[in-house]
Amino acid sequence: MSSLTITHEDPFEQYYFKEEEQQICGRPVSPITKNYDENYPSVVDRFFTRYYYLKTSGGKQAPFQVLYHSNRICLICLAPSHPAFAEGIASVNFDVGNVDRSQNVVKGKAKRGGMVLQADSTLALLTTEKGNVYKIPSCIRGKLVEVHTELIAQPKLLEQAEEGAGYFAILLPKIENCDDIKASLMTHADYEKYVQETSNIAVDEAAVAT
Amino acid sequence: MNPVMAAIQAAQMQMCMPYMMNYGPVPIPFPMQMAPQFNSSTYDEEEDYSAKEDDEEQRTLFCGNLDEHVTDDILYEIFLQAGPIESVRIPKDGGGRQRNFGFVTYFHLSAVPFALDLFQGLELFQKKVTIKAQAADRPQQRQSNDFSVPSVSSRMRNPFANDVAKGDHGAARHARHTLHDAKPYDRSPKHMNNDARRRSDSAVLDRNRPRTNPFLQNSSGGNRRSEQRNNHHHGQRKLYLRRQLTDSVEQQPTNSTFCLHGKEGRRTISMQNQDLVEYLESCGICQVCQLRYLKARGTEYRDMSKTFQRLNVEHSDEQPLKKPRLGVCPTCLGLFSEDFQRQLVEGILAKDISKYDSDGIVLALCLPMTLQLRQLSMWFALRRKFGCVIDDTNAPDVPIKEAVKLILNPIICAQLKKKNDPNGLMINVDLRHSVEAGEVEKLAKLHKAAFPGKQKRIEISRGLLEKQYQPARIKADLFEEYLPIPPTAVDEQLQLKSIVLTGPLVCVAGRYRKLSRELSHTPWVLHGQRMMEDSIEELIIHSVAPHFSESQEKIIFMSSGREDVDVRCLGKGRPFALEIPDAMCSTLSRQLALQMEQAVDRSGKVSVRNLQVVPREELLHIKTGEEQKRKFYRALCTMKEPVTVDILQKLQISESFVIQQKTPIRVLHRRPLLTRPRTIYSLKARVQRGQPNVLIIDLVTQAGMYIKELVHGEFGRTTPSLASIIGKPIDIQALDVVGIDLDWPAEVDNAIAVEGEAIVESTVNSK
């Protein structure tokens, strides 16, 4: 890049990395920069498997994403094709009527005291700028560990955030339920098919409409 | 009566306070009264200074075995009886808790021996207070110089009496302190006489020192120790004086016979050493145990006949010369017999004790419970014979466990040519006896009968025996229903059941560096399957352990923190330590250390240096201050877009700041969810030439921070994160630990040391 052409006025000059040489076990230690991998996977790709959950309400389907960590911890997010993104997100509320999910407290390693949720329990309420209210489901059966309360103050995070950073909550399913849960969710491949189909339908509908 | 005095009474003091009872409360503290005395014309300042400085220790009394409820005030009030007190001090330990001993410093030297006399046997809160002169080895000398009082018995009357007795021994160093007129305790001459008369009348048995020597008592040529004992004895009598008089016991001079009136019948029952020994002998008790019942100490067991002589005990018939009867002592079951000692030594030598290089040994005997039962039975027997002279809570003998330490330990050590060292090679000896099973069964029945209320199933254990089974808690008659009093003789000696040698615990410390990004800290097992072939722990143990121990299973590997599987540890390395139990060898030569280091290095994954044996106490360096340590890291970070100068500038931070870090998701399943504040001390980012989206970031952080999460922020769960600081996504690809801020263990370059030795050797050879 530019560093090759302009050598005398390189703004990075003082920031260039120089490795100190070191010998351990009678061999020079390879510099850390040798570990650079251009195609290094992202945090989500490294640790999580993507699953999806479809919630049908009022004849409309809304997809949600479950990031399944290798240690079975799950992050509940909106799927990229969730209609709320198109409508613009106005607010997030964890007070789902009879209970306020943001009051969830867990103690100790065993996460005692966390609310136990079913797949269709409502985690939060999402209001779009169009005024539609979407119920965010828990997607899986498990114990509520953490609620992303930051979303209450900054609902726009959902739109801007990197993949995963727009999580609503962290859930911990029981080990023995894990296989069932995974089987009940939509895999990433299925989800892509589903997105394709729905967009086709949308296109068809649009075509029909025109 | 003032509140403190009330407190003392509440403390259930077991002693009488003759002065108090006779003359009301203790007079006001002495210093005020005597203050002018120091300014008197005869007062030689210079000499006094040196004397005072010198004898601060001499004037101090050590009080041990204090109950936690004993306060400075209580000590002051009690010890004031022996003379004016300069200071009272009960030290506190690190946690602010009171230690179990204290110091009382008197104004006057002469108060110390008087107090020693007066308070011997003092009990506070039912705990017997140990009272010693602080300068324990010196007072004897001093006494013989300063208090050249001919008669021992008249010497220890009280500090003031001393002064009178001395009269014109003006040259004596402390004369000016002690010879003064203001003597609050110095009653009228009449009182003095009274006192003296009573003393000769009274006779009290001091259970802890049941020995007098009438020959010594009246001669000045006896050894100092027994002299002191006699003195204590007199003091003790004085303490019991009041009780004696009020009980109006017959007052006849009893020279070497100790008397204490029994609880029942107000009779005077006497016990002499001779009586005791004769009775014990009639029960078939061996001589060692006889000495135990005479409360003999340390070296007194070595030459037993001499000790018996000194204690004024004669063995009527010449028992030692005769072939001892085949009967085995019923109280020790032959534990102290020479035959048993020989067996024991042979048994130990039969084990491969030479395998261990330890100089020190410690003998751990596991004794059958019947020994405790037999002690109790003998206790009952003695109480029957001698009545209340025998205390019902403090055993009449030197406990077998202690006697083993005093008698067997030195013998075994001498035979094996080893020192006695509690941290040395432990010789665990399990002993058994044929009567054990039967007697324990009877004990179980006795227990049901004796403590019927306790429905809980209590297993009969040694601890229970020790706690519950005392004459104070159980009736002799009940005991006798199940077990004989006194203990019956047996035909068989104790038998050796097993001897197990356990080597000392050796700690080896060093620093390790980790070069592989595919090496776990400890064996990584998931669902019962090894995930990785090796681990740091195993690599190090495999090379170090064989020198110290045959089995590697019980070795504990610990380190100052740990790194992830894919993180290298470079620089000086991470301190670690191995705790090796049952070690055959407690040292490590430089040469061997170097060989071990080289062996680990050959793995190419881990390198070890500064390998050395360390004292166990030093291991706390590894675990303490875990969160205070600074750690130095280098991280390889990548961005999706080329790095700009602006980003680099944002990542040059030299002032420390605090971040809030939630437990990372990757460990959340096994750790509690917490938000931890952690400090970053400095940040320095650089860019790789030719790779514009690669950052190399050097961080100095507080220990306990998750660096990977700090870089990418983990979905906003760490704030601020490097990602939030630059406002753009950033990820971490590789991490190295480059330094750990812990100067332990000491830097030892085994290679250089060995080289040095080699050079010395070669020069020696060439010569």
ipTM of the predicted structure? 0.92
Q: What is the pLDDT of residue B242?
A: 31
Q: What is the pLDDT of residue B194?
A: 38
Q: Which residue of A has its CA nearest to B633?
A: A32
Tell me, yes or no, if B709 comes closer than 8 A to chain A by beta carbon. Answer: no
Neighbouring-strand partners of residue A142: A117
- Kindly tell me if the per-residue pLDDT of B606 is higher than 50: yes
The string of pLDDT tens digits covering residues A114-157 is 999 999 999 999 999 999 899 999 999 999 999 999 999 999 98
Looking at the complex, report in whole angstroms how far the Cα of residue A31 sits from the nearest Cα belonging to chain B: 10
Q: Which residue of B has its CA nearest to A108?
A: B672
- Kindly tell me if the per-residue pLDDT of A12 is higher than 90: no
For B523, phi then psi, to 5°, come to -50, 130
Element (H, E) at B710: helix B707-712
Question: Are B672 and A108 in contact (CB < 8 Å)?
Answer: yes
Interface of A with B in 76-95 (CB under 8 A): none
In a domain, A4, yes or no: no
The one-character DSSP state at B69 is T
For B511, phi then psi, to 5°, come to -125, 140
B54 vs B748, more confident: B748
Interface of B with A in 574-603 (CB under 8 A): 601-603
Question: Are A145 and B607 in contact (CB < 8 Å)?
Answer: no
Q: Where are the domains of chain B?
A: 3-39+49-193, 273-501, 505-623, 630-740
DSSP character string of B416-449:
HT-EE-TTSEEEEEEEE-TTHHHHHHHHHHHHHH
CB atoms within 10 A of CB B220: 11
The domain tally of chain A equals: 1
Residues whose CB is less than 8 angstroms from the CB of residue B513 and which lie 6 or more positions away in sequence, other chains included:
A24, B568, B569, B570, B571, B572, B573, B574, B606, B607, B608, B609
The string of pLDDT tens digits covering residues A18-27 is 888 888 888 8
Distance of alpha carbon B522 from alpha carbon B576, whole angstroms? 13
Neighbouring-strand partners of residue B258: B271
Tell me, yes or no, if A7 comes closer than 8 A to chain B by beta carbon. Answer: no
The one-letter amino acid code at B129 reads: V
Look-up of token digits 């078939």? B284
In the β-sheet with B60-64, what is the strand arrangement from edge to edge? B85-89, B102-106, B60-64, B130-133
Question: Cis omega (within 30 of 0) on the bond before B720?
Answer: yes
Interface of B with A in 512-541 (CB under 8 A): 513, 515, 517
Burial bucket for residue B266 (CB in 10 Å: 0-12, 13-18, 19+): exposed
The string of pLDDT tens digits covering residues A41-88 is 999 999 999 999 999 887 788 999 999 999 999 999 999 999 999 999
Over residues B161-167, mean pLDDT: 37
In a domain, A126, yes or no: yes
CB-nearest partner of B712 from A25, A43, A109: A43
Distance of alpha carbon A29 from alpha carbon A35, whole angstroms? 12
Tell me, yes or no, if A152 comes closer than 8 A to chain B by beta carbon. Answer: no
The string of pLDDT tens digits covering residues B332-357 is 888 888 888 888 888 888 888 888 88
DSSP character string of chain A:
-HHHH--TT-TTGGGB--PPP-EETTEEPPPGGGG--TTPPPHHHHHEEEEEEEEEETTEEEEEEEEEETTS-EEEEE-TT-HHHHH-EEEEE-B-SS-BGGG---BTTTTBTPPEE-TTSEEEEEEETTS-EEEEE--S-EEEEEE-THHHH-TTHHHHSPTTTT--EEEE--GGGHHHHHHHSEEHHHHHHHHHHHHHHHHHHHHHH-
Q: What is the pLDDT of residue B27?
A: 40
Element (H, E) at B680: strand B675-688
Q: What is the pLDDT of residue A140?
A: 95
Mean predicted lDDT score pLDDT of chain B: 73
- The lowest-confidence range among B495-499, B510-514, B697-701 is B495-499
B372 vs B40, more confident: B372
Question: Are B694 and A36 in contact (CB < 8 Å)?
Answer: yes
Report helix, strand or coil for B688. strand
Q: Annotated catalytic residue: which of B73, B195, B201, B564?
A: B564
Same fold, B3-39+49-193 and B630-740: yes
Q: What is the pLDDT of residue B454?
A: 60
Distance of alpha carbon B448 from alpha carbon B438, whole angstroms? 16
Chain Cα centroid distance, residue B40: 48
CATH code (residue A55): 2.40.50.100
CB atoms within 10 A of CB B183: 20
Report helix, strand or coil for B543. helix
- Kindly tell me if the per-residue pLDDT of B374 is higher than 60: yes
- Kindly tell me if the per-residue pLDDT of B35 is higher than 90: no
Classify domain B3-39+49-193 at the CATH class level.
alpha beta
In a domain, A20, yes or no: no
Q: What is the pLDDT of residue A113?
A: 92
In chain B, which residues have their Cβ closer than 8 Å to the Cβ of A69? 665-666
Residues whose CB is less than 8 angstroms from the CB of residue A83 and which lie 6 or more positions away in sequence, other chains included:
A60, A62, A128, A132, A134
Interface of B with A in 728-767 (CB under 8 A): 729, 731, 733-734, 736
CA angle in degrees (0–180, nearest 5) for B175-B181-B185: 100
Q: What is the pLDDT of residue B764?
A: 52
Q: Where are the alpha helices (DSSP H) in B387-509?
A: 400-403, 409-416, 436-450, 462-468, 476-482
Confidence band (pLDDT; 50, 70, 90) for B239?
A: very low
Distance of alpha carbon A125 from alpha carbon A98, whole angstroms? 12
- The lowest-confidence range among B83-87, B120-124, B326-330, B396-400 is B326-330
Closest to B563 (Cα-Cα) out of B660, B662, B632, B637: B632
Rg (chain A; Cα; Å): 23
Chain Cα centroid distance, residue B166: 43
Tell me, yes or no, if B722 comes closer than 8 A to chain A by beta carbon. Answer: no
Report the percent of chain A where pLDDT is more than 90: 65
Tell me, yes or no, if B648 comes closer than 8 A to chain A by beta carbon. Answer: yes
Among A15, A19, A46, A143, the residue to mutate for chain B (most B Cβ within 10 A): A15
Closest to B619 (Cα-Cα) out of B737, B506, B749, B748: B506
Distance of alpha carbon B411 from alpha carbon B345, whole angstroms? 9
Q: Residue A170: which domain range?
A: 47-204
Distance spanning both ends of chain B, measured CA to CA: 87
Q: Which two tokens stand for residue B229?
A: 């004992």
Question: Are B670 and A109 in contact (CB < 8 Å)?
Answer: yes
Identify the sign of the CA torsion B589, B595, B599, B600: positive
- Kindly tell me if the per-residue pLDDT of B237 is higher than 70: no
In chain B, which residues have their Cβ closer than 8 Å to the Cβ of A162? 715, 729
Rg (chain B; Cα; Å): 36
In a domain, A23, yes or no: no
Size of interface A-B (CB pairs under 8 A): 116
- Kindly tell me if the per-residue pLDDT of B172 is higher than 80: no
Tell me, yes or no, if A20 comes closer than 8 A to chain B by beta carbon. Answer: no
Active site residue B564: yes
The one-letter amino acid code at B647 reads: I
Distance of alpha carbon B719 from alpha carbon B709, whole angstroms? 10
Q: What is the pLDDT of residue B131?
A: 87
Report the percent of chain B where pLDDT is more than 70: 70
Question: Are B648 and A12 in contact (CB < 8 Å)?
Answer: yes
Name the E strands within B444-587. Answer: 495-502, 506-514, 525-526, 529-530, 556-559, 567-580
Tell me, yes or no, if B687 comes closer than 8 A to chain A by beta carbon. Answer: yes
Tell me, yes or no, if B640 comes closer than 8 A to chain A by beta carbon. Answer: no
Among B518, B669, B714, B738, the residue to mutate for chain A (most A Cβ within 10 A): B669
Residues whose CB is less than 8 angstroms from the CB of residue B723 and which lie 6 or more positions away in sequence, other chains included:
B711, B712, B713, B729, B730
Question: Are B691 and A43 in contact (CB < 8 Å)?
Answer: no
Confidence band (pLDDT; 50, 70, 90) for A191?
A: very high
Tell me, yes or no, if B714 comes closer than 8 A to chain A by beta carbon. Answer: yes
In chain B, which residues have their Cβ closer than 8 Å to the Cβ of A16? 686-689
The CATH architecture of the domain made up of B505-623 is 2-Layer Sandwich (3.30)
For B269, phi then psi, to 5°, come to -110, 135
The string of pLDDT tens digits covering residues B642-660 is 999 999 999 999 999 999 9
CATH number of B630-740: 3.30.70.3190
B452 vs A32, more confident: A32
Identify the sign of the CA torsion A28, A33, A37, A40: positive
DSSP character string of B165-196:
HHTT-TTSTTHHHH--S--TT---HHHHHHHH
Question: According to the per-residue pLDDT averaged within each range, which of A195-209, B440-454, B522-536, B638-652 is highest?
Answer: B638-652
Closest to B737 (Cα-Cα) out of B694, B689, B703: B703
The string of pLDDT tens digits covering residues B193-224 is 333 333 333 333 333 333 333 333 333 333 33
Q: What is the pLDDT of residue A204?
A: 80
A48 vs B451, more confident: A48
Question: Are A15 and B604 in contact (CB < 8 Å)?
Answer: no
The one-letter amino acid code at B54 reads: D
Report helix, strand or coil for B616. helix
